[in-house]
Amino acid sequence: MTPAGWSPTSWQSRPAAQQPVYPDPAVLQSALAHLSRLPPLVTSWEIENLKRQLAEATRGERFLLQGGDCSESFEDCESSAITKKLKILLQMSLVLVHGGRRRVTRVGRFAGQYAKPRSADTEKHGDTMLPSYRGDMINRAGFSVAERTPDPELLLRAYERSALTINFIRALVDGGFADLHHPEYWELDFVEKSPLAAEYTRMVESIGESLRFMETLAGSTVGEINRVDFYTSHEGLHLPYEQAQTRQVPRRPGWYNLSTHFPWIGDRTRALDGAHVEYFRGIANPIAIKIGPSVTPDAAVALAERLNPAGEPGRLTFIHRFGAKHVERCLPPIIEAVQRRGLPVLWCCDPMHGNTETTSRGIKTRRFDNITFELEASFRLLKAAGSHLGGVHFELTGDDVTECIGGACGLTEADLTKAYRSQLDPRLNYQQAMEMAFLLARLMAQSRG
Ligand code: PEP
Ligand code: CO
């Protein structure tokens, strides 16, 4: 049900953080009017299916795997990049299904992850000060007045790129994708170099065996008998864009954001009385909110009550991102406060955003060890509190980049410049992401035991 006092525009009377300033409001209005006439990218029944799956994950019957680029770029909207993004999520999810013995819901940070919060509104080089780059939906990364001026036409380009991406994803999911299931085709060089090599080799073999067994049984490929679903997500940051895609649908109550299945509120825009929380409280989608070290237990409870007053299971996910240094101090009191009120929350660990550091040469990176520490601690602390970790959220890519340090592939600080491609945050590369899946499967199996 739509909450009292809410409408798709009610956020406009609240302070909205992290919004670009457009030189000509009339041009913005015309782009938004155009956007609000264009067809939706996802449907209400897909959204409701995902909400049911997230309710299962909240009860411990399922696991959420969410991942993708920190920010998508228009340039990467091409077939091989999209295929690789699906491939890494699919392969990781198979490892989790087989090793962790839990059904897995796959959600990409894709088909709409084009707007970024920034720590400063402007950037200065020499004597020139320009607006910060805020994602391809808003302006361009190059450092010139033309590139950095927010351009409303980019909202339409982002919508179109999202549509092209989701169209190709739907086509891949429908067929032609089954060979990606087979571990014999995966590139798992790291396995031999890992201290857990024997255990990982056994896991790879058993995934292969059970897939072959299922195919023999069904006489067809797993891709056909067991259609895999992918859902989309992005940070719902640019509120005019989100509003333009907020619709009512026939025979279902409420308003849906039909630009994505599972939008989230970022750690910088989660003010209780701010515009983002106001917008999100009224949409019917399952939603997530990122919480970092500055959130208090009372604030977390207030957000959960504002965003999910009816206590609907699957509606609300907390993506906690405290960092290896703070997770043991920050997470337990929040779990306790949420439990005391009996609020249904899906706990999903983002071990990336609290673990970003800058090297002495000024390169943004993350250490594999800190990422695994935060994950392990989250499993342990939730279990100790009588709850469970129900999902994970990664920044990763299917490409062979060098952005994060560590892992069995042995990436060092000196390697970072070899293939550093991210415009924003550092991502796990293909090998690191697969290794993370094996580690996670192990943690899932242990936390059940
Ligand atoms: C992100 O997910 O890219 C991001 C900016 O995260 P957070 O809001 O947790 O800082
Ligand atoms: Co990021």
Question: Going by CA atoms, what residue is nearest to atom 2 of ligand 1?
Answer: 70
User: What is the rounded CA–CA span in Å between residue 313 and residue 177?
Assistant: 32
pLDDT computed for residue 96 by the predictor: 94
User: What is the rounded CA–CA span in Å between residue 96 and residue 177?
Assistant: 19
What percent of the chain has a predicted confidence (pLDDT) above 70? 96
Residue 20: other Cβ atoms inside 10 A:
22
The secondary structure of 137-152, three-state, reads CCCCCCCCHHHHCCCC
Give residue-wise pLDDT tens across range 330-365. 999 999 999 999 999 999 999 999 999 999 999 999
Q: Which of 61, 68, 15 is nearest to 427 (CA)?
A: 68
Q: Is 434 in the pocket of ligand 1 (CB under 6 A)?
A: no
The amino acid occupying position 74 is F
**Quick check: 224 and 178 in contact, CB under 8 A?**
yes
- Residues 195-206 have a mean pLDDT of 89
- Residues 192-199 have a mean pLDDT of 90
| CA–centroid distance, residue 122 to ligand 2 (Å) | 19
**Quick check: 354 and 323 in contact, CB under 8 A?**
yes
Instruction: For strands 230-232 and 103-109, give the pairing.
Output: parallel
Q: Is 293 in the pocket of ligand 1 (CB under 6 A)?
A: no
pLDDT computed for residue 210 by the predictor: 84
Q: Report whether pLDDT(177) > 70.
A: no
pLDDT computed for residue 178 by the predictor: 58
| CA–centroid distance, residue 146 to ligand 1 (Å) | 27
Q: How many residues does the chain have?
A: 449
User: What is the rounded CA–CA span in Å between residue 12 and residue 7?
Assistant: 10
* The pair of three-digit structure tokens given for residue 103, joined into one six-digit string: 């059904």
**Quick check: 436 and 198 in contact, CB under 8 A?**
no
Q: Give the mutation target among 18, 70, 119 for probing the ligand 1 site: most ligand atoms within 8 A of CB.
A: 70
Domains in the chain: boundaries: 10-117+152-447
Q: Is 270 in the pocket of ligand 1 (CB under 6 A)?
A: no
Q: Is 267 in the pocket of ligand 1 (CB under 6 A)?
A: yes
Q: What is the largest CA-CA distance in the chain?
A: 69
* The pair of three-digit structure tokens given for residue 239, joined into one six-digit string: 């509120």
Q: Is 72 in the pocket of ligand 1 (CB under 6 A)?
A: no
Q: Report whether pLDDT(260) > 90.
A: yes
**Quick check: 296 and 305 in contact, CB under 8 A?**
no
Q: Which long-range contacts (CB under 8 A, 24 or more apart) does 209-214 make?
A: 210/98, 211/94, 211/181, 211/182, 211/183
Residue with tokens 């009224």: 282
Residue bearing the bigger pLDDT, 226 or 213: 213
List of residues 6+ apart from 263 with CB closer than 8 A: 233, 234, 235, 236, 242, 257, 280, 283, 285, 287, 288
Residue 180: other Cβ atoms inside 10 A:
19
**Quick check: 365 and 413 in contact, CB under 8 A?**
yes
Give residue-wise pLDDT tens across range 397-446. 999 999 999 999 899 999 999 999 998 999 999 999 999 999 999 999 99
The amino acid occupying position 149 is T
| Backbone torsions φ then ψ of 210, nearest 5 degrees | -70, -30
The amino acid occupying position 36 is S
User: What is the rounded CA–CA span in Å between residue 329 and residue 374?
Assistant: 12
pLDDT computed for residue 229 by the predictor: 85
The closest-lying atom of ligand 1 relative to the alpha carbon of residue 350 is 9
3-class DSSP state of 31:
helix
| CA–centroid distance, residue 337 to ligand 2 (Å) | 27
Torsional class of 135: left (φ above 0), alpha (ψ -120 to 50), beta (otherwise): left
Q: Which contiguous run of DSSP H or E holds residue 130? A: strand 128-131
3-class DSSP state of 348:
strand
The closest-lying atom of ligand 1 relative to the alpha carbon of residue 235 is 2
Give residue-wise pLDDT tens across range 223-257. 544 566 899 999 999 999 999 999 999 999 999 99
| CA–centroid distance, residue 345 to ligand 1 (Å) | 19
| CA–centroid distance, residue 421 to ligand 1 (Å) | 18
CA-CA distances (angstroms) from residue 84 to 285, 352, 355, 394? 27, 20, 25, 15
- Residues 270-287 have a mean pLDDT of 98
Give the chain's mean pLDDT.
94
Question: How far is the first Cα of the chain from the last one, in angstroms, to the nearest whole number?
Answer: 40
CATH for the stretch 10-117+152-447: 3.20.20.70
Q: Is 321 in the pocket of ligand 1 (CB under 6 A)?
A: yes
